[in-house]
């Protein structure tokens, strides 16, 4: 018999006569023993609304009976040898493997968070003077700020981007060409650059510090116009500016958080590039080219609002 919902909730009130650490045997059935410590562990998370019932002897006995039933069943299962069955042992192994993977991912995330916190106090630290200097040298971005929306078509080679451009100059629909030729995940939606919520991204200057040529080309366009071929580290783009929205003027104090984010991101990108050079990154391009990827074509890095 499974523990019913009521008794799964009865998890916090320790027996009055026993401390949490008491190893006194409260009940037994053959080889099964239940101690005060066992019960204290089971009671750990009990809500207030069941404590009055659990404080009675009848409540404690009923809860204890449920614990006994489970332990007797588990003991019988252990002695039966079912754990040695192939499907059972394989299932247990799969579970352990999943737990190991989860622990690995958790550990990686934990040390990354801690190390990034340290980096923000050292390599990535942005001084007030840097914030002010950036504001003064990019004043137009804050006195007359704009956000833009855009679509793009990404290809792995310049030759393919030239073909894209030729089709567009012949009057073909941008979204149609994007669906047929773009290697970016945005291809399925006609090349529209989206934000994390699935809406057309409202892009500000500084959002694409890692793709400076892409950003410069985009903000250099008039609404409705299409760029030439733009080369970046992830491929070749043809960009269309689809909209532009004027924003209120920003004072230095208002702009400072945004500038801090921009400068910190740039410092981070610079730090990564320095680290790559120091560690002498090497790539076997022949092996990389030959590496099978299954049915799907290799997806390029998505261009999304950052």
Q: What pLDDT was estimated at residue 96?
A: 94
Q: Does residue 33 contact residue 25 with C-beta atoms inside 8 Å?
A: yes
Residue pLDDT, tens place only, 34-53:
888 888 777 766 667 776 77
Q: Structural domain boundaries of the chain? A: 5-80, 84-120, 128-278
Residues 36 and 27: their CA atoms lie apart, in Å, by: 9
Q: What pLDDT was estimated at residue 74?
A: 87
**Residue linked to tokens 């006195």:** 143
- CATH of 128-278, picked from 3.10.50.40, 3.30.56.10, 3.40.50.1580, 3.30.70.3450, is 3.10.50.40
Using DSSP's 3-state secondary structure scheme, residue 80 falls into: helix
CA 219 to chain centre: 29
For residue 35, list its beta bridge partners: 25
* CB burial string 76-93: b at 16+ within 10 A, e below: eeeeeeeeeeeeeeeeee
* CB burial string 45-65: b at 16+ within 10 A, e below: ebeeebeeebeeeebbebbbe
Token digits of residue 233: 């580290």
- Which residues of the chain, if any, have pLDDT below 70? 1-22, 44-47, 51, 294-306
Residues 125 and 55: their CA atoms lie apart, in Å, by: 57
Q: What pLDDT was estimated at residue 268?
A: 93
Residues 175 and 150: their CA atoms lie apart, in Å, by: 12
């Amino acid at each position: 018999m499974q523990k019913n919902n009521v008794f799964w909730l009865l998890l916090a009130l320790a027996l009055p006569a026993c401390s949490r650490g008491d190893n006194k045997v409260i009940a037994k059935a053959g080889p099964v023993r239940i101690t005060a410590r066992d019960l204290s562990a089971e009671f750990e998370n009990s809500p207030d609304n069941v404590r009055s019932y659990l404080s009675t002897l009848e409540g404690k006995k009923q809860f204890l009976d449920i614990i006994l039933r489970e332990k007797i069943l588990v003991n019988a299962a252990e002695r039966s040898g079912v754990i040695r069955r192939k499907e059972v042992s394989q299932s247990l192994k799969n579970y352990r493997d999943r737990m190991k993977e989860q622990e690995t991912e958790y550990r990686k995330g934990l040390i990354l968070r801690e190390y990034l916190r340290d980096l923000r106090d050292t390599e990535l630290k942005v001084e007030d003077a840097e914030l002010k200097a950036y504001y003064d040298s990019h004043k137009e971005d804050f006195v007359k700020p704009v956000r833009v929306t855009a679509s793009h078509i990404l290809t792995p080679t310049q030759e393919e981007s030239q073909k894209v451009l030729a089709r567009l100059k012949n009057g073909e629909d941008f979204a149609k060409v994007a669906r047929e030729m773009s290697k970016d995940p945005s291809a399925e939606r006609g090349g529209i650059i989206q934000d994390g919520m699935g809406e057309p991204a409202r892009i500000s200057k500084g959002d694409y510090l890692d793709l400076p040529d892409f950003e410069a080309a985009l903000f250099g366009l008039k609404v409705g116009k299409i760029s030439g071929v733009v080369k970046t580290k992830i491929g070749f783009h043809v960009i269309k500016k689809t909209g532009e929205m004027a924003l209120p003027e920003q004072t230095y104090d208002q702009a400072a958080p945004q500038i801090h984010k921009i400068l910190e991101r740039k410092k981070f990108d610079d730090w990564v590039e320095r680290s790559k050079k120091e560690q002498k990154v090497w790539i076997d391009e022949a092996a990389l080219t030959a590496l099978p990827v299954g049915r799907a074509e290799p997806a390029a890095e998505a261009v999304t609002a950052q």
